[in-house]
Structure 1
Amino acid sequence: MNTRLKKLQQSLAKHKIDALLVRVHEGDNQNVLYLSGFGGTTGVLVISKKHAFIVTDARYYTRAVAEAKDYKLVKVIRGKKFTDHINEALALAKLTKTSRIGFEAAHVPVSIAEIWKSELKGKLVATQHVVERFRQYKDAQEVELLRKACRITSKVYNEVAAIMRAGMTENEVAFELDMRLRRYGAISNSFTSIVAAGPNSAIPHHATGDRKLRAGEPVIMDFGGLFPGGYCSDITRTAFVPGKEPSKRIQEIYNIVLKANQAARRGLKPGITYKEFDKIARDYIAENGYGQYFTHGLGHSLGLVAHDPFDYEHDAFEVGTVVTDEPGIYIDGFGGVRIEDDLVVTKDGNERLTNAPYWKF
């Protein structure tokens, strides 16, 4: 049995539920993939303390059997309600109308929850962050998939930085990034690539457009890929368009951001909280006179999605936490710099999964 399923089953009593329903619709919930290996866009996992079922339609019968090996398939038949088949799975799991059936409130629309409460044979209980808490800490296999994704993405940056020239547009640079991600195995982007040149680099999440690059100006490239196995990369580098020496001020800003990134990385270790991690980089930037221009959080959890779940308020980083380290300075009308690496917490500190070089003036 896969260890993720077993851990979840063992946790049901803690949450005072007899089973958990995990729903994916049009690919909106990676918890299904995490728990079962099923990568289809529609289905419901029915997980009790001793049983596990996957309920899906005819488009996915073959994939469900092949991918969700620890789950018994309950086939959705055209003309019947989906809830009829969830009830079939609940009955096979020997659950009754008095059983407490958990469902993921964050992933089930109110309209669907109302239907479930009316039609399912059990007492529906809304749950929060049950599966997500397991996803916060990656195992060795997950880390290896993330490492591979990050190394490929770093390679893509190296290639595109080498061909970037004045006169190219932001969209053309983004195309080069996206094309190379696919060439080296990405299934899709983990988010829409951001390429922000010149004054646009002062906008942290700029909408990539047709502005032409000019010699000497900064170009922020924030991009990543979704790779086979389901895991994402997310990297940001600030490069400079060849043909003119960048201004002294932007060079100063770049070096401050880089040192803030490196300081935070040195401080990342088991037991540190997100707030403490963020403070390292934020204090360094403030001490160097640019505190007001660092306008976002230092980073986020990374995994099956670019912003993977993590309870930053209550949980510390531990071995297996994968987090981004992305300080930035943004000055309206002038420009900005952001440098992002993907890090995994280890027993001795951390490992940098991304290995793209930093800029050398």
Structure 2
Amino acid sequence: MNWSPFSIASSNRKIDPTRRRGAFKPDGSPNENDRVEIGPTDLAFNEWEALGLIAPDLARMREYRLQRIVNELRKRDLGGILLFDPLNIRYATDSTNMQLWITHNSARACFVSASGHIILWDFHNCDHLTAHLPLVKELRGGASFFYFETGDRTTEHARHFAQEIESILKEHSGNNRRLALDKIEIVGLRELDRLNIETFDGQEVMELARAIKNEDEINAMRCSLASTEIAMAKMQQASVPGATENDIWAVLHAENIKRGGEWIECRLLSSGPRTNPWFQESGPRVVQNGELLAFDTDLVGPYGICADISRTWMIGDAEPTAEQRRLYRVAYDHIQHNMEILRPGMTFEEVTRAGVRLPEEFRAQRYGVMMHGVGLCDEYPSIRYPEDLEGHGYSGVLEPGMALCVEAYVGAVDGKEGVKLEDQVIITENGFENLTTYPFEEALLK
């Protein structure tokens, strides 16, 4: 593998060297070895600089995100939004705390008023984790009312929290008792209902807020993708006969963490006969010469930005079979066509209708979407295949600043192998820009 990410440097995306000197890193964060705030490592900054990439201005990015939320609240005449989903909390505050643990233990919450006032309830003794974030105006505790934490006192704790929310709405939202919620324990919702606080779908608010990225978010995405592609190159070097799937997958985890990345949502990597059907996760299988290996990164990298890229490559030095080349070509042509049609102003249904149809033999095992939004993770929108449009399609329009992952899985029912490919793009004023630079396999495209 001779590909190097350092061959893609662009002169119009260079880090300002003055931001590397003194007390601050290129993204405006403190240049302190002992800082509490997590973030990219020097390895990542050095690689991005060599690639000519711009780090995001974190202060400006945080202000933009807050305004996006405020705008969605005001559109709906909502007094505020109460967030428990750790990714929504991350978007609203840019704060992190045990993100995976918090996904199944609702020990953090965040309130954002329609005027932009942010209150964060954090895990106990964790106020220091948010001290660097001036947009968070108040830090509190006491948002935990799930059984592991509160046992037979869960209703008591939920009632206290609901009363606190009622008081906050009165103070920061006047007489507006219309509250959006993303996720909440059942007992918490019941207590809010008991107080006659009118609740609305907060996931809609947050998904639409998160859908349009500004320049800083796009720069953060470029950086996360660049780090991921460097890790992928190391994965490909490790993809040799005799290695296990887990050996190869572990490289992606390690290289992500080295650069200040955060976690990986899935472990979708498989080889040989395990590439069909899709969604088999990496295991102890030993890869063999001449087999296909396919994976989907689903990686949450630096700045908490998702890098969602799929590639399929050959193990060893064998000549690809005609069938391997056919599968790869179908998948490649599929995502290339579906990228090329993208234009701002297209409805989601128009994208579906303009997309290339998979050959009939591959439709039964098609991927769940033709393309989907991406930001802090897989996000709105989901754009469906024609076969799924009636049952699962929904309305919407492509807008500049939307990031999309265009993907395909190609494998026949009872087929010997399958191919997974995916690129990450941004919708622009005139079309799209492909943010992904990792090469496709020339030997499989012959």
Indicate the TM-score class for this superposition, using the shorter chain for normalisation: 0.7 to 0.9
CA distance change for structure 1 residues 180 and 146 in 2, over 3 Å: closer, same or farther? same
Q: What does residue 228 of structure 2 align with?
A: 153
CA distance change for structure 1 residues 16 and 195 in 2, over 3 Å: closer, same or farther? same
Deviation at 1:345, TM superposition (A): 0.7
Greater than 6 Å deviation, 4+ residue runs: 77-80
Match of 1:35 among 67, 92, 98: 92
1:20 aligns with 2:83: no
Q: What does residue 185 of structure 2 align with?
A: 109
Q: What does residue 308 of structure 1 align with?
A: 379
CA distance change for structure 1 residues 11 and 275 in 2, over 3 Å: closer, same or farther? closer
CA distance change for structure 1 residues 276 and 155 in 2, over 3 Å: closer, same or farther? farther
Deviation at 1:320, TM superposition (A): 0.9
Deviation at 1:225, TM superposition (A): 2.5
Q: What does residue 150 of structure 2 align with?
A: none
Q: Kindly indicate whether the alpha-carbon contact (under 8 Å) linking 2:341 and 2:355 is maintained by their aligned counterparts in 1.
A: no
Q: Kindly indicate whether the alpha-carbon contact (under 8 Å) linking 1:55 and 1:85 is maintained by their aligned counterparts in 2.
A: no
Query: 1:159 and 1:74 mapped to 2: Cα distance?
Result: 42
Identity over the aligned pairs, expressed in percent?
Answer: 20
1:214 aligns with 2:288: yes
Higher helix share: 2
Q: Which amino acid in 2 is paired with 1:46?
A: F
Q: How does 1:189-338 map to 2 (within 5 A)?
A: 189=264, 191-283=265-357, 285-286=358-359, 290-305=362-377, 307-310=378-381, 313-331=394-412, 332-338=414-420
Q: Which amino acid in 1 is paired with 2:232?
A: Y
Query: 1:311 and 1:165 mapped to 2: Cα distance?
Result: 35
* Number of residue equivalences: 347
Deviation at 1:51, TM superposition (A): 5.4
Query: 2:110 and 2:253 mapped to 1: Cα distance?
Result: 33
Q: Which amino acid in 2 is paired with 1:308?
A: E
Q: Which amino acid in 2 is paired with 1:220?
A: A
Q: What does residue 86 of structure 1 align with?
A: 165
Deviation at 1:346, TM superposition (A): 0.8
RMSD across aligned positions (CA): 2.7
Q: What does residue 75 of structure 1 align with?
A: 140
Query: 1:184 and 1:60 mapped to 2: Cα distance?
Result: 24
Query: 2:281 and 2:68 mapped to 1: Cα distance?
Result: 41
Deviation at 1:201, TM superposition (A): 0.8
1:62 aligns with 2:128: yes
- 172-181 or 122-131, which deviates more: 122-131
Deviation at 1:149, TM superposition (A): 1.0
After superposition, the C-alpha distances for 1:216-246 in whole angstroms (9 at most, x for unaligned) are 1111021142223221111110001113212
Query: 1:51 and 1:184 mapped to 2: Cα distance?
Result: 32
CA distance change for structure 1 residues 112 and 265 in 2, over 3 Å: closer, same or farther? same
CA distance change for structure 1 residues 140 and 178 in 2, over 3 Å: closer, same or farther? same
Q: Which amino acid in 2 is paired with 1:16?
A: D
Q: What does residue 435 of structure 2 align with?
A: 353
| 5+ long unaligned stretches in structure 2 | 1-61, 144-155, 384-393
CA distance change for structure 1 residues 176 and 123 in 2, over 3 Å: closer, same or farther? closer
After superposition, the C-alpha distances for 1:74-117 in whole angstroms (9 at most, x for unaligned) are 53379983334434433432635xx323132x412332100222
Deviation at 1:10, TM superposition (A): 4.2
1:162 aligns with 2:244: no
For the residue of structure 2 that corresponds to 1:301, the secondary structure is strand
For the residue of structure 2 that corresponds to 1:229, the secondary structure is helix
Q: Kindly indicate whether the alpha-carbon contact (under 8 Å) linking 1:138 and 1:320 is maintained by their aligned counterparts in 2.
A: yes
1:139 aligns with 2:214: yes
Q: Which amino acid in 2 is paired with 1:56?
A: W
Q: Which amino acid in 2 is paired with 1:300?
A: H
Q: Kindly indicate whether the alpha-carbon contact (under 8 Å) linking 2:80 and 2:180 is maintained by their aligned counterparts in 1.
A: yes
Q: Kindly indicate whether the alpha-carbon contact (under 8 Å) linking 1:51 and 1:93 is maintained by their aligned counterparts in 2.
A: no
| 5+ long unaligned stretches in structure 1 | none
Q: What does residue 100 of structure 1 align with?
A: 177
Query: 2:401 and 2:278 mapped to 1: Cα distance?
Result: 28
TM-score by length of 2: 0.71
Deviation at 1:291, TM superposition (A): 4.5
Q: Which amino acid in 1 is paired with 2:398?
A: F
After superposition, the C-alpha distances for 1:135-160 in whole angstroms (9 at most, x for unaligned) are 11111111111111112111222222
For the residue of structure 1 that corresponds to 2:304, the secondary structure is coil
Q: Which amino acid in 2 is paired with 1:101?
A: R
Q: Kindly indicate whether the alpha-carbon contact (under 8 Å) linking 1:21 and 1:44 is maintained by their aligned counterparts in 2.
A: no
Query: 1:51 and 1:300 mapped to 2: Cα distance?
Result: 29
Q: What does residue 343 of structure 1 align with?
A: 425
Query: 2:306 and 2:280 mapped to 1: Cα distance?
Result: 21
Query: 2:326 and 2:382 mapped to 1: Cα distance?
Result: 35
Deviation at 1:66, TM superposition (A): 2.5
For the residue of structure 2 that corresponds to 1:271, the secondary structure is coil
Query: 1:231 and 1:279 mapped to 2: Cα distance?
Result: 30
1:177 aligns with 2:252: yes
- 56-65 or 250-259, which deviates more: 56-65
Q: What does residue 6 of structure 1 align with?
A: 67
1:127 aligns with 2:209: no
